[in-house]
Structure formats: structure tokens, C-alpha cells
Structure 1
Amino acid sequence: MALDLEEQENLANLKSFWARYGNYIIGVITVALLAYAAFNLWGWYQRNQAADAGKLYETLINAVTKNEKDKTYLAADDLQKKYGGTTYAAMGNLVAAKIAMDSNDAAKAQAYLKWTANKASDDSFRALAQLRLLGLLIDQGTEASLKEADQLLKEKAVKGFEPLWIERRGDWYLVQKKIPEARTEYQKAMKAMQSDKAFPEDARGLLKVKIDAVGGM
């Protein structure tokens, strides 16, 4: 059927438009499709990684229950290397650090805690590793360890963990027998904890013991 003049004009305009912008439109559509495919592929990869990491973490826990330290460390190391972007890597490191600390292997514990403090994908695990690392460094009480703890304490605390960060600064002063400074930090930490109902009563109780030990409120 022959096209009328209006239809012919519309067709000509469409051809002209497509000639000018067709390649651009195809390019945009192609990029969008590739992005969609990449997103789905990344989701599949993450799910697959998490499943494999979960199995390896289970292996680590089984090694812990059997008191097999070497296998525990090996599983933790594999979680770091192969699945460092998953929460299982941070969890495995924290467990391995605890095993190392219980075995009086401070260097190994410190290595696991440092990795988690710097690279954990979850802020809560990162904060927990930082606090445990600070405790370890402060307990060592050497000039080098206290200097390292001081540098770490100068960093910004993970949101929600500020009171515990302040408490650790009090510990840092206390181990150096700087009692007034320790008391001040403990009091600041208690004030922060009391204004945040998320903190358990046990945390406040432990801090109260420290405050009493340095002369009370």
C-alpha cells in the first residue's frame, strides 16, 4: 500500500534520526545490558564465594573444637587469601587470634587482628579487631607496643564503638600509671555509655570497676 505524504515525511524523519543517533542508542543499550549482566554475574559470584567461605569457616570451627591449632590457622589463612571480602574471613581471623592469644603467641594473634582491623568488610568486626588489638598492645606495656597503641587510638573510632575506644585510651594511661588521665578517660567513657542504651550492663559494670580502681567518679 502506498504511503501518503505525511507518512512518507515521518518515515524520512525516522530514517534521518536513526542515521544520526542509531549507533549511540545501540551503544547505550549495549552498555546497559552488559551492566545488567555484570551485576547478575557479580551477585552469583558473591553468593558462590559466601557459600564456599562458609564451608571453610565450618572447617575452621571443627578444627577449634578438636584443638587442632595448625588446621585452625591454615583455615583462617585460606579464608584471608581466597575469601577476604566475606565476613567469614574476619570471623575466622578473630577466632584464630583468640586461639593464638590463649597459646601465648602474641605475634600471631597480632597479625590476625591487624588484618581484620584493616581489611574486614564489616565495620563491627573491624572495630572488634581494633579493640582486641589495642588490648593486646596495651597489655604488653612495652615502649613500642604503647606507641603503636597510641597511633591506633588517634584514628577515628568506628561509629557506635566510641565509648569503648575512650575506655581503651584510659587503659593506655593506666598501664603507664597516669592515674588522673586514666580516670578522666574512664569517666568520659561512662558518660558516653550511659547515653547509649545499646551498651549492655556488663560493659558499664566492668568500666565501673576500673573507675573505682582509680579513685571513683
Structure 2
Amino acid sequence: MAFDLQEQEQIDSIKAFWQQWGKLIAGVLAASAIAYLGFKGYRYYQEQQAQKAAAAYENIDAAVAGKDIAKLKSAVTLLQNDFGSSAYATRGSLILAKAAFDKSDLALAKSQLEWVLANSKDESASAIARLRLASLLLDQKTYDAAIAELNKEHPAGFDALFLDLKGDVLVAKGDAAAARDAYKSALAKLVGDSPNRQFIQTKLDALGG
């Protein structure tokens, strides 16, 4: 009988606990379940979007192989509109920019590079886009705009490339002294026996070291 009484007291204690805290605990569990299902659902959505973006990117490969810039532009536009946050959209935009530049369509090339800079979360891809944009501006003889791009923030691993191109812009602008400084800084940023070292040194020597 004592055991039954003790057992009943435990049951009553549990009942009292659930009467006080049951709704809160149930709510927390429900919220946790919803959050978990939401996370799983979001991951599934991301995976589906990545697969669709990869499929759309195949159209870019086909357009490049066929040297069809109209189809390439259409495929890249689709990626930008529907999968703008994907790496495929960034890569496609850089490819279209290069193809447009090769066709002397500088306006299209510039717009694609600017799209990457405005939308890509990949710092390396953005640095590449900025270098190409600065090079395009150099070709257009808009030297100050090119230098402004090269002075913007970028990953440290790209310092030598940015400084080297800055030297080229300054040479074209007629500022030999500043160009020498840029080339010297570029050489200082190179690691080991970089293949660019001799190339930059040659340009520096041409300016009188």
C-alpha cells in the first residue's frame, strides 16, 4: 500500500508539472520541429535550385562551343534573372564579358562585369571582374576611372595584379614616376619566383628602374 501511495504521489507530481509547464514545453517542441522542417525544406530548395542552375549553365557551354554570342547572352540573362546568387551566374557573366570584349562590344562587356561586382558574393570572382573592368577602362582611355577601380578594396592575394595594372594605366596616362612606384610595389607583393616577376621588371626597367 505504501508503494501504491508513493507511486500515486509521483503521478500527481508529474500531472502538476505538466499542468504548469506542459503548454510551454509543447510550444517549444513544436517550434523546434517547425524550425527543423523549415531548415530541411530550405536545404532541399537550395539543392533543387543548384541543380536547375547547373542545367541552365549547360546552355552557356553549348553557346561558347558554337561561338554564338546571342545564345550566350540569352543563357547568361536567364541565370542572372533566375539564379542570380549562384556561382553559375557569376561564371557565366564573366564568360559573356570576355566574349563581348573579343567582339569589341565594350558596352556589353562592361555591363556584365558591373553585374558581377554588384551581385557576386565571391571575393575572388569580384576581384577578377574589377581587374577586367579596369583593363576595359584603360582601353577606353578613361584612366581616372580605371585607377578608381584599382584603388578599391580587394583580396590581398590580388595586390600584385592590381598594382601591375595600375602601373600600366599610369604609363598610359603619362605619369612615369607614379607608374614606377606601382610596379615596384607590385614586385614587392609577388611571392617567390612568380612568372609575372620578369614581366613587371621589364616594364619597370623600360621606365628607368
Q: Same fold (TM over 0.5)?
A: yes
Instruction: Tell me the CA shift for residue 186 of structure 1.
Output: 1.3
Instruction: Tell me the CA shift for residue 159 of structure 1.
Output: 4.0
CA distance in 2, matches of 1:38, 1:15: 32
**Change over 3 Å in CA distance of 1:169–1:21 after alignment to 2:** farther
Deviates more, 1:170-179 or 1:182-191: 170-179
Is 1:203 paired with 2:200? no
Question: Which of 155, 158, 161 does residue 158 from structure 1 map onto?
Answer: 155
**Change over 3 Å in CA distance of 1:107–1:4 after alignment to 2:** same
- Given that 2:130 and 2:150 are in contact with CA atoms closer than 8 Å, whether structure 1 keeps it comes out as no
Instruction: Tell me the CA shift for residue 183 of structure 1.
Output: 1.0
| Partner residue in 1 for 2:169 | 172
CA distance in 1, matches of 2:156, 2:21: 49
Instruction: Tell me the CA shift for residue 119 of structure 1.
Output: 1.3
1:1-217 superposed matches below 5 A: 4-142=4-142, 146-194=143-191, 201-216=194-209
CA distance in 2, matches of 1:178, 1:29: 68
**Change over 3 Å in CA distance of 1:62–1:19 after alignment to 2:** same
Instruction: Tell me the CA shift for residue 172 of structure 1.
Output: 3.1
CA distance in 1, matches of 2:70, 2:83: 19
CA distance in 2, matches of 1:44, 1:161: 35
CA distance in 2, matches of 1:17, 1:172: 76
Residue 29 of structure 2 aligns to which amino acid in structure 1? Answer: I
Aligned CA RMSD, in angstroms, stands at: 2.2
Instruction: Tell me the CA shift for residue 78 of structure 1.
Output: 0.7
Q: If the length of structure 1 is used for normalisation, what is the TM-score?
A: 0.85
**Change over 3 Å in CA distance of 1:85–1:6 after alignment to 2:** same
- Given that 2:131 and 2:150 are in contact with CA atoms closer than 8 Å, whether structure 1 keeps it comes out as no
1:152-199 per-residue CA deviation (whole Å, 9 max, x = no partner) reads 3332112422222222332332221111111111111111113xx5xx
Instruction: Tell me the CA shift for residue 56 of structure 1.
Output: 1.6
Q: If the length of structure 2 is used for normalisation, what is the TM-score?
A: 0.88
Structure 2: give runs of 5+ residues left out of the alignment: none
Residue 205 of structure 2 aligns to which amino acid in structure 1? Answer: D
CA distance in 2, matches of 1:148, 1:21: 65
Residue 113 of structure 1 aligns to a residue whose secondary structure is helix
| Count of residues paired in the alignment | 209
CA distance in 1, matches of 2:102, 2:175: 29
Instruction: Tell me the CA shift for residue 141 of structure 1.
Output: 1.4
